[in-house]
Structure 1
């Protein structure tokens, strides 16, 4: 894991628009402070994606809500693992560092409601 001297990290965020259709877009963020809270990082991602050049409108305009979640992607699954939620879903009040995020970590960003529906019936539609 690489981290520069200023304590900033590179974090890849998988913007998950649909679990069922495996519709996600990875976005790389540079210079992320691992000492910010999970809530601050979620707000930063929300704010960034609405104006990010090159990001397709369906991802920029997707209705991420107040119950957005961040999940550390520790799997080769196309979108993310459905196991170990207690360990992998970042909790409010934690810093990214405390939650286990380090430089070059991949995380998924998604709506809690979408995840709950998919987890209850994890079938893909092609």
Structure 2
């Protein structure tokens, strides 16, 4: 098996994974921006630490100013590399069991691999959107 035959989720070790966080400001208007985090140790980084890394990036990196006034408090698995994606473009509304509810569990405990995508959002806004999942332009 050559390096080109290796699935991308296995190319990097769990100690140096690349994760994509879908930072969702508005479900209704489908306002989201991707934050790519590199060299994440899935065996050591906890859910709470991942939330804090994302919050720090939003507060300090250029281009995130419109997102700074949102209280991001919830992570939910969106997809793993080579996995099926939802038909909803902003978030998968099913599988509430994919919400990462334990801030002390490591990402590996939740089955994260290289190139896992996870949504980061405000849970209250998510619950409101679930009751009426209509989008606007």
* TM-score above 0.5, yes or no: yes
**CA distance, structure 1, for counterparts of residue 60 and residue 33 of structure 2:** 15
**CA distance, structure 1, for counterparts of residue 14 and residue 25 of structure 2:** 33
The gaps in structure 1 that reach 5 residues or longer are none
Structure number with greater Rg is 2
**CA distance, structure 1, for counterparts of residue 57 and residue 125 of structure 2:** 21
Give the equivalent residue in structure 1 for 2:39.
Answer: 31
**CA distance, structure 1, for counterparts of residue 64 and residue 46 of structure 2:** 27
**RMSD of aligned C-alpha atoms?**
1.6
Instruction: Give 1:21 shift.
Output: 0.5
Instruction: Give 1:120 shift.
Output: 1.1
Q: Does 1:81 align with 2:89?
A: no
**DSSP-derived class of the 1:116 partner:** helix
Aligned length: 121
**DSSP-derived class of the 1:2 partner:** helix
Instruction: Give 1:125 shift.
Output: 1.2
Q: Structure 1 length as normaliser, TM-score? A: 0.87
Q: What does residue range 73-112 of structure 1 map to in structure 2 within 5 Å?
A: 73-74=78-79, 75-76=85-86, 77-86=88-97, 88-92=98-102, 93-112=104-123
Change (3 A) 1:9 1:16: same
Contact 1:91 1:99 in 2 (8 A): no
